[in-house]
Structure 1
Amino acid sequence: MKREIAIGKTKTEQALWLVLANALSLCMALIISAILSRYMTTVEYGTYRQVIYIYSTLLIIFSFGLPNAYSYFLARVPIEEGQAVIRKLNLLFWGLSVVFSLLLFTGAARIAELLANPLLTVNLKYFAVTPMLLMPVLGVERVLTVYGMTRVVLVYVLLGRVFCILFSVLPEIIFDAGVTGVVTGLVVASLGSSLVGFRLLSLPFKNVTPGKTEITIRDILRFSMPVFTSSLYGFIIGSASQFFVSRYLGVENFAMFANGYKELPVAGMVIGAISGILLPEFSRMTQNGAGNKEYITLWKSVIFKSASIIYPFAVFCCVFAPEIMGTLYGSVYREAADLFRIVTIINLARIVPYGPLMFALGKGKVFANAHMVTAISLLALDLSCVYFFPSLLAIAVITTATTFFCLMALMISTARILNTSLLGLLPWKSMLKILLASAFSCFLGSLAVSRVGITRDFPVLVMGFLVSVGIYLPVSRALGINYTVLLKPLVAFQKMNKIFFCRKCNCTNQ
């Protein structure tokens, strides 16, 4: 008998656990980087970062869009077929990981020559086994999410970071292990994560009689192809501007751009968590023959919840951008505040991932094409910029404008797919309420700070935040935005009557 998925859990609870896992991962990654940068020489730390950069870059190619296939296919089949689907995906990952590892080992010298760092050769060879350890467990978080076990995702993320600290960070602190010792420790940590990951992959199927599945490897590859191509274009969009700044505008400008032009980590955590929930949910709805009205209801509810978290942070960061830059990186980087404000504007539009809906409805090619046009436009405009009017602000405006173009194209495409208008696709009134409440609160927070006369960055930031939050919460409550309901599942661990994905009514203000 098919087991019910995510019994006793709301989608809000699952999403918030994923947000918490992403936040924990980000914080611990920052701590690890902060420690290693202080104990290693600049050359050693740079080499370590290059190893991570090479792996994460090539992973986009060698993962072939397959991690999302876990969410898509597992949500469409009975739980008895889940293990059979996972075995087929693992078979593909094993093959891809072997090729990846061989490339790192045999091509280490060539990669080191390309990046002009001889230290990379030996360290890449030590690191080469890592893809074979980590790639087969890339789908752990998605598998657990599909079956409503998002709390376990938090444990898995925590263990992975703890392994990194134990085997990479501590040896450097205690024994001065150097870059090779740190990289070797990463391999050991990867082994630990792999062992835990394989154990967790079987956790949802305890006491379940396994069965065969009609899902073929060809079906999996057909789904993953548009995901893979859109990921490649997304990589170009995310890295092109940094490349042009680094190559044509100098190291100092690159440092300013790298620190200033960063989207809100909070937005990334929220959108990543929502994507992890939406893909299996939309896939399940498609399999059950849901109509456009059900998709739109779900979509609008998700947008409201996402905007209620991202908009206040985005507006606050725009208002207090100089203080944020000064607090994080020092007074010299206060000049990057304009860059930070420009990129933060993106988060007023990027509040929900479009990929899950399009992939679930078989419109992955539309998603990929939008990113392809954006990537080509960005490359052309950036190249023209550095040759004819070189400027950091110009590069930032170009990147933001092309990203907005991509988001608008996806929004219009989504409206057409669901046979509705842009007005019917989004909860405009609710979004406007959140935006106005955020702007009003942050304006008064900034005014209060200036009246008090505080000038140092950190005290300004703290006072501005406290005043803004103190004003925003009652104002938002008066406008019908209830954050107590939003956070209740994570704090109280109990069911809510008003869930994140409300299907029974058209209400988005829950």
Structure 2
Amino acid sequence: MSRPLSLTVKALLLASGKLLTAISTLLATATLTRLLPVEEYGTHRQVLLVFAMVSPVLMMGVPKALYYFLPGETTRPRGVLLDNLAVLTLGGALFGLGIAVGLGDLVADRFDNPAVSPLLWLLVPYALFFFPQQAVSACLMAVDKVRKLVLYNVASRLLLVVTVIVAAVISPTARATVAANALWSAVVGVPAIVLMLRAVGGAGRPTQAGMAQQLRFGIPLGLASLLGVLSLQFDKFIVSSMCSTEDFAVYVTGAMEVPLIDIVTGAITAVVIPQLTVFYKTDRLDQIVSLWQRAMNKALLILTPVMFVVLLLGDELMTVVFSARYTDSSVPLRIYALMLPLRSAVYGSVLMATDNTRYVTLSALVGLVVNVALSWLMVWLFGANGAAWATCIAVYAVAGTLLFPMARVLKTTPRALVDWGHVGKSLLAAGLPAAPVFALGAWLEAPDLVRLVVMGAAYGLGVIVVYRQTGLATPRQLLDFLRRRGRQAPPPDAGSP
């Protein structure tokens, strides 16, 4: 019988899986941008965009319900799992029904791309297997099968990358790559269900009462997830609706956040919330402010230099990773990078720890409204890249909205919540080395890969020197911070490149 894993080992295993997910997604995207014509790649991304926006509505947070209902269940554990899988399978069937009644034609007309409609039919079997598969993380985590979860996630991700790349090599078309996603979903969906059924023993069958109970639990989570997904994806939807498929392909390739955000700030929630909750219950509000600021300040030291790297080397990054056809993708990438300093804090963490989550949902709604209102205008005025500006403004609006309820709960002012002195010092320290590196770039005539390596190394060395001289941090302190955050990273979710 195997020994139980420590929390540290579990977290390291999950963090490694999350890192592999980010790397594999980047690898698949880089390969597809090189193999597929721009219009075909744009169609591929449009089809997956539709699924990404619709799936939260149909899953309604039900997979996460297993985190609550499965641990400690002794009466009908397998029945609880089957309740969950039944609801998710029904969601997949509803997706197929939506395509059958004309959703595909409606979207194709909206995107002005007739190729989208028939390809959405390929996602019907994809949804039927993909939706139940989304319960595997919650199920295996709830019954402490971390090793199996990590092995499954690693194997399924690698298989997805290989399947899509092979399809693109054989036939460089959106039809081939979307079909590859559907095939992958079936191939890994069956083992996922087998893993879950073997992990959860006992007899049981799905019941209407059990399914309804999990739906009631999951719907609030699903609504919050839906708002988050719409906020993240709406700019891409607008660009796809108002611009050509080729323009959309270029935009969507650059309109992404640096994967490092998940490792740095996504993990902060797991580290900070338990301590914030303890401080709140013992009425130590000043300690909440102090801890939140310390976490934000540390993350800022990592993310601010990353922002300047993207601003300095956006063209080279896009060309080296995605080919010269996507050099213009550096514009939305740079705009997205302007959000990195703001991402140094998880603003909802304080409200979650103090049982004020309604403000998190409200702020997400504010962000969505701002994004919807601005995106149409900005794209109409400035083209596809205007959508990135709208998203950036919406993200800052959400953060600003959250500061006020946070200040009220902690009995302070919004201005006092942020260590503005440290913010200014971090921006200045990271910005100082950028000036000579920018001058170096104007002088250096070399291939993009050489420029990327030389200028990146020069900037990194400059940041280290400035951080040391100003007393902000040493390289060892920054590495220790990343290592601790990696140990607390949440489990990776499956997805499609």
Instruction: Quickly name the TM-score band, shorter chain normalised.
Output: 0.7 to 0.9
- 1:303 alignment partner, one of 282, 296, 303: 296
Q: 1:323, 1:457 within 8 Å by CA — same for their partners in 2?
A: yes
Residue 242 of structure 1 aligns with which residue? Answer: 236
The answer to whether structure 1 residue 468 and structure 2 residue 459 are counterparts is yes
User: Taking structure 1 as reference, are residues 464 and 95 closer, same or farther at Cα in structure 2, changes over 3 Å only?
Assistant: same
- 2:437 alignment partner, one of 445, 452, 464: 445
User: Taking structure 1 as reference, are residues 93 and 144 closer, same or farther at Cα in structure 2, changes over 3 Å only?
Assistant: closer
Q: CA deviation at 1:327?
A: 3.7
Higher mean C-alpha displacement, 254-263 vs 314-323: 254-263
User: Taking structure 1 as reference, are residues 432 and 69 closer, same or farther at Cα in structure 2, changes over 3 Å only?
Assistant: farther
Read off the aligned partner of 1:266 and give its amino acid letter: L
Residue 341 of structure 2 aligns with which residue? Answer: 348
Counterparts of 1:100-499 in structure 2, within 5 Å, are 100-104=92-96, 107-108=99-100, 110-114=102-106, 115=108, 124-125=120-121, 127-141=123-137, 154-165=150-161, 167-170=163-166, 173=169, 185-194=180-189, 197=192, 224-250=218-244, 253-275=247-269, 277=270, 282=274, 285=277, 289=281, 291-293=283-285, 295-296=288-289, 298-329=291-322, 337-355=330-348, 357-359=350-352, 361-385=354-378, 389-392=381-384, 394-422=386-414, 424-450=416-442, 453-477=444-468, 479-485=471-477, 487=479
Q: CA deviation at 1:463?
A: 0.7
Q: 1:98, 1:131 within 8 Å by CA — same for their partners in 2?
A: no
Q: CA deviation at 1:364?
A: 2.9
Q: 1:296, 1:425 within 8 Å by CA — same for their partners in 2?
A: yes
- Secondary structure of the structure 2 residue equivalent to 1:371: helix
User: Taking structure 1 as reference, are residues 259 and 125 closer, same or farther at Cα in structure 2, changes over 3 Å only?
Assistant: closer
Larger relative contact order, structure 1 or 2 (CA cutoff 8 Å, min sep 6): 2
Q: 2:168, 2:177 within 8 Å by CA — same for their partners in 1?
A: yes
TM-score under structure 1 length normalisation: 0.73
Q: 1:134, 1:194 within 8 Å by CA — same for their partners in 2?
A: yes
Residue 54 of structure 1 aligns with which residue? Answer: 50
Q: 1:62, 1:97 within 8 Å by CA — same for their partners in 2?
A: no
Read off the aligned partner of 1:57 and give its amino acid letter: M
Q: 1:167, 1:189 within 8 Å by CA — same for their partners in 2?
A: yes
What are the Cα deviations for residues 225-265 of structure 1, in whole angstroms up to 9, with x where unaligned?
A: 44333333333333333344444455565455434443333
Read off the aligned partner of 1:438 and give its amino acid letter: A
Higher mean C-alpha displacement, 121-130 vs 143-152: 143-152
Q: CA deviation at 1:26?
A: 2.8
Q: 1:141, 1:153 within 8 Å by CA — same for their partners in 2?
A: yes
For 1:85 and 1:415, the matched residues in 2 are separated by 42
Gaps of 5+ in 2: 202-209, 489-497
User: Taking structure 1 as reference, are residues 111 and 413 closer, same or farther at Cα in structure 2, changes over 3 Å only?
Assistant: same
Identity %: 20
What are the Cα deviations for residues 128-158 of structure 1, in whole angstroms up to 9, with x where unaligned?
A: 3443433334244456678998776654332
Higher mean C-alpha displacement, 323-332 vs 159-168: 323-332
Q: 1:36, 1:45 within 8 Å by CA — same for their partners in 2?
A: yes
Q: CA deviation at 1:490?
A: 8.5
- Secondary structure of the structure 1 residue equivalent to 2:473: coil
Q: 2:167, 2:176 within 8 Å by CA — same for their partners in 1?
A: yes
What are the Cα deviations for residues 169-208 of structure 1, in whole angstroms up to 9, with x where unaligned?
A: 446646x6987775565445334544554576689999xx
Q: 1:164, 1:186 within 8 Å by CA — same for their partners in 2?
A: yes
User: Taking structure 1 as reference, are residues 219 and 105 closer, same or farther at Cα in structure 2, changes over 3 Å only?
Assistant: closer
Higher mean C-alpha displacement, 472-481 vs 191-200: 191-200
For 2:198 and 2:474, the matched residues in 1 are separated by 35
Gaps of 5+ in 1: 207-215, 502-510
User: Taking structure 1 as reference, are residues 263 and 26 closer, same or farther at Cα in structure 2, changes over 3 Å only?
Assistant: same
- Secondary structure of the structure 1 residue equivalent to 2:102: helix
How many residue pairs align between the two structures?
Answer: 474
For 1:300 and 1:90, the matched residues in 2 are separated by 43
- Secondary structure of the structure 2 residue equivalent to 1:107: helix
- Secondary structure of the structure 1 residue equivalent to 2:340: helix
Read off the aligned partner of 1:441 and give its amino acid letter: P
User: Taking structure 1 as reference, are residues 189 and 324 closer, same or farther at Cα in structure 2, changes over 3 Å only?
Assistant: closer
User: Taking structure 1 as reference, are residues 371 and 333 closer, same or farther at Cα in structure 2, changes over 3 Å only?
Assistant: same
For 1:149 and 1:476, the matched residues in 2 are separated by 42
Q: CA deviation at 1:70?
A: 5.4
The root-mean-square deviation of aligned C-alpha atoms, in Å, is 4.7
For 1:44 and 1:337, the matched residues in 2 are separated by 20
Q: 1:134, 1:190 within 8 Å by CA — same for their partners in 2?
A: yes
User: Taking structure 1 as reference, are residues 375 and 89 closer, same or farther at Cα in structure 2, changes over 3 Å only?
Assistant: farther
What are the Cα deviations for residues 10-52 of structure 1, in whole angstroms up to 9, with x where unaligned?
A: 9xx93x7655433322332233345456666778766654543
For 1:7 and 1:81, the matched residues in 2 are separated by 23
Q: CA deviation at 1:468?
A: 1.5
User: Taking structure 1 as reference, are residues 127 and 482 closer, same or farther at Cα in structure 2, changes over 3 Å only?
Assistant: same
User: Taking structure 1 as reference, are residues 357 and 24 closer, same or farther at Cα in structure 2, changes over 3 Å only?
Assistant: same
User: Taking structure 1 as reference, are residues 67 and 286 closer, same or farther at Cα in structure 2, changes over 3 Å only?
Assistant: farther
For 2:114 and 2:378, the matched residues in 1 are separated by 33
Q: CA deviation at 1:465?
A: 0.8
Residue 505 of structure 1 aligns with which residue? Answer: none
For 1:205 and 1:296, the matched residues in 2 are separated by 42
Q: CA deviation at 1:85?
A: 8.2
For 1:465 and 1:156, the matched residues in 2 are separated by 35
